[in-house]
Amino acid sequence: MPIVIDLERGKKVAKLLYNSFTTTDIHGRTGMPRDMVPSSVAKGSLGHILFITLTISINYKRDASSLWESSIKTFDDPETKYLFDPKLLHETPLEKIVEDMHRYNLSPRPEKDADIWQRVGVTFYEKWSSDPRNFFKNSNWDSSLIVKRLRTDTHTEKGETAPDYPYLRSPKIRPLWLKMLRDDAGMVELRNLEAIPILVDVHVARATLATGVIRGQFKGTLDELSEDIREAWFQSVEGLNANERPMIAIDMYQPLSHLSMHGCSNRDEIIGNCTAFNNCEARDLCIKGKIKIDKNFVDLET
């Protein structure tokens, strides 16, 4: 039997996981809680946009909740608030930025994180009058174009071309950033977010297979399977709602990641028994069988 893409099941999984992720949690982990906004910033203001933009730029290999907590403290302290002002990031020496980012543990990797932070800020200062919305306007508010430009836009630094948006340009962070700007900062002008495919990494793949949204017999590379996974989520979310707006494929990235990271990765690879089963939000949709994802190779018998 070749693989099947079960959209009915996909819709059930999408509803269930999105709901768990936004209202309670998945295996004890949630995304950025709704109240995680500095007390001294108005929702949707330029300050709020820069807060989200700079913070998510260093959301790499670390605990998300503690990152946002540290960033809020940094924003609410008058002495470190300048770190969210692109013009002041441009004027401040890197050593001081390193020191001030360290005050509330905003930078577990002090040199590297400060470097990313300053560069992203300075790009918005130099190219977009310190306002990311000017970048979006210049891209016709088209999310597909914005995502492309995040990857390709460069500047010259010490005679060499360097990316304008380090880390913010990574495949995983880009869609997350735009989604947060729309959902949390209320940036409704952003168009075509629904056209951005879900990033398929090992977690998204594992959770998609373990919930049986894609099942059957398959042996091959993850790349070969990825197109089916992207398509499965494009179609599964069709017609569903997410907090009074249509659900889109990238809404599923974090819920699926969390399910896999804290749940499905405990599965027995051959039979599919899972030590996290009894406490799993998705146990009613979990299927047994072989799911082996090794490097880029997938071995599926479900």
Contact residues toward DNA (CB under 7 A) are 60-63, 108-109, 112, 152, 162-163, 166-167, 169-173, 201-203, 265
- 3 state SS of 301: strand
Query: Are the CB atoms for 267 and 2 separated by under 8 Å?
Result: no
Least separation, in Å, of the C-beta of 109 and DNA? Answer: 5
Least separation, in Å, of the C-beta of 251 and DNA? Answer: 17
Which contacts qualify for 134-140: CB closer than 8 Å, 24 or more apart?
Answer: 136/187, 136/189, 136/190, 140/191
CA distance 264 to 129: 45
Nearest to 147 by CA among 115, 98, 99, 194: 194
Which residues is 274 bridged to in the sheet?
A: 267
Which residues is 155 bridged to in the sheet?
A: 162
DSSP 8-class letter at 6: -
Least separation, in Å, of the C-beta of 64 and DNA? Answer: 10
Least separation, in Å, of the C-beta of 42 and DNA? Answer: 30
Least separation, in Å, of the C-beta of 151 and DNA? Answer: 8
Cα 145 to chain centroid distance, Å, stands at 18
Query: Are the CB atoms for 262 and 29 separated by under 8 Å?
Result: yes
Least separation, in Å, of the C-beta of 108 and DNA? Answer: 4
Q: Which helix (H) or strand (E) holds 115?
A: helix 110-128
Number of helices followed by number of strands (H, E) in the chain: 12, 9
Least separation, in Å, of the C-beta of 203 and DNA? Answer: 6
Least separation, in Å, of the C-beta of 173 and DNA? Answer: 6
Nearer to DNA, 19 or 273 (CB): 273
Nearer to DNA, 22 or 170 (CB): 170
Nearer to DNA, 14 or 150 (CB): 150
What's the token pair of residue 157? 């630094």
Neighbours of 182 (CB within 10 A): 17
Nearer to DNA, 138 or 152 (CB): 152
Nearer to DNA, 172 or 182 (CB): 172
Nearer to DNA, 62 or 103 (CB): 62
Nearer to DNA, 62 or 133 (CB): 62
CA distance 203 to 265: 8
CA distance 94 to 114: 7
Nearer to DNA, 103 or 112 (CB): 112
